[in-house]
Amino acid sequence: MNLMKTSFISCCCLPTCKSSKVDRKGWKRAFLKVLKRKKSLRAYFWKDKQYISTVPVAASLENDVHNGFDRSREFDYVIVGGGAAGCVLASRLSEDRSSTVLLLEAGKEDSNFYIHVPMGFPYLVGSDLDWKYQSANEEKLFDRKVIWPRGKVLGGSHTISVALYLRGSANDYRDWEKSGATGWGPEDVLPYFLKAENNLRGASAYHGKGGPLKVSDLPSPNEMSQAFVIAGQTLDIPCNKDFNDWSHSQEGIGFFQVTQADGKRVSPATCLFTSSSRPKKSLC
């Protein structure tokens, strides 16, 4: 692994503007300078730009054979969109060595430097990895249009996301079930969440261990964030230590868990291509 994690720096410390061109060396120098002064803050360091390797899945259909992809080849499953859902589907379906799976993704591979850095997402929203949608003019916002980011990259919106691990509330699934989505109640979906998860807190009634998606606590929450949570508690807002624990209300104040591990963000795409147990032969 090329990324040497020493610790974590909160997003609060990021330059907030999305500058079009980032001078990485300059930024890194400035960043390290700040860190030297701010001894209480910690950071991720890296040795070079090469973080992760993926296999190319975005096959061009313009030529009969392109990058080794033969257009005349047939597949048992064709998945359009290599986003969060598409990657999970491709991953699970390709476990069966006897079937072949084609995953078509309109965006690029997830090789951008900032995808894998936990605090990198401000550089991704609005970049060429974003479809850059906008809302219609919003009357209640003085007719402003609101940016509506969606990931255009392997791993989809998750790849440009904040990486909070939040499943929604049990009531959401209960409502789905009541609306006719049989098999989508909280008791039905929970086993699949547990199966997918590798929570570094360990296994419990609401968390799984050993799945492909690593979930962890923030290694070193920012001091400002800690102060915010403590301030909330002094106002009698209940402390919520686990927003995915459906045995109690989701209301409260606390820290989210994140899909990060070993100093890097984890996405469905990274799970798909890095899981050692995954037979890849059937996947294009």
Ligand X SMILES: Cc1cc2nc3c(=O)[nH]c(=O)nc-3n(C[C@H](O)[C@H](O)[C@H](O)COP(=O)(O)OP(=O)(O)OC[C@H]3O[C@@H](n4cnc5c(N)ncnc54)[C@H](O)[C@@H]3O)c2cc1C
Q: Which is nearer to ligand X, 32 or 164 (CB)?
A: 164
Indicate the residue whose CB is closest to ligand X: 83
Count the site residues for ligand X by CB under 6 A.
26
Instruction: Tell which one of 12, 141, 146, 166 touches ligand X (CB under 6 A).
Output: 166
With respect to ligand X, which residue has the nearer C-beta, 263 or 268?
268
The Cα 198–Cα 212 span in angstroms is 6
List the one residue out of 131, 81, 87, 84 whose CA is nearest residue 106: 81
Cβ atoms 46, 54 nearer than 8 A: no
Residue 113's Cβ-count burial label (10 Å; 0-12, 13-18, 19+) is middle
Binding residue (CB under 6 A) for ligand X from 152, 207, 214, 265: 152
Residue type for 277, please?
Answer: S
Restricted to residues 196-235, the positions that interact with ligand X (CB under 6 A) are none
Is residue 151 involved in binding ligand X (CB under 6 A)?
yes
Shortest spacing between CB 269 and ligand X, in angstroms = 9
- Beta partners for 204? 207
In three-state form (DSSP H/G/I as H, E/B as E, the rest C), the secondary structure along 146-174 is CEECCECECCHHHHCCCCECCCCCHHHHH
Q: Which stretch binds ligand X (CB under 6 A): 19-27, 42-50, 143-151, 203-211?
A: 143-151
Q: Which residue matches tokens 């993704």?
A: 105
Stretch in the footprint of ligand X (CB under 6 A) among 6-14, 47-55, 163-171, 182-190: 163-171
Rule CB under 6 A: choose which of 100, 112, 161, 260 binds ligand X. 161
Binding ligand X (rule: CB under 6 A), the pick from 92, 108, 132, 150 is 150
Asked if 214 and 4 count as a contact pair (C-beta separation under 8 A), the reply is no
Classify strands 69-70 and 65-66 as parallel, antiparallel or unpaired.
antiparallel
Residue 155: which of 242, 59, 89, 217 has the closest Cα? 89
> 115 Cβ partners below 8 Å, 6+ apart?
124, 129, 153, 155, 159, 160, 265, 267
Question: Could you give the string, one character per residue 67-106, with x where binding to ligand X holds by CB under 6 A and - elsewhere?
Answer: -------------xxxxxxx-----------------xxx
The minimum distance between CB 78 and ligand X, in angstroms, equals 11
158 binds ligand X (CB under 6 A): yes
Decide if residue 125 touches ligand X (CB under 6 A). Answer: yes
Quote the least distance from Cβ 34 to ligand X, whole Å: 25
Residue ranges that bind ligand X, judged by CB under 6 A? 80-86, 104-107, 125, 149-153, 156-158, 160-164, 166
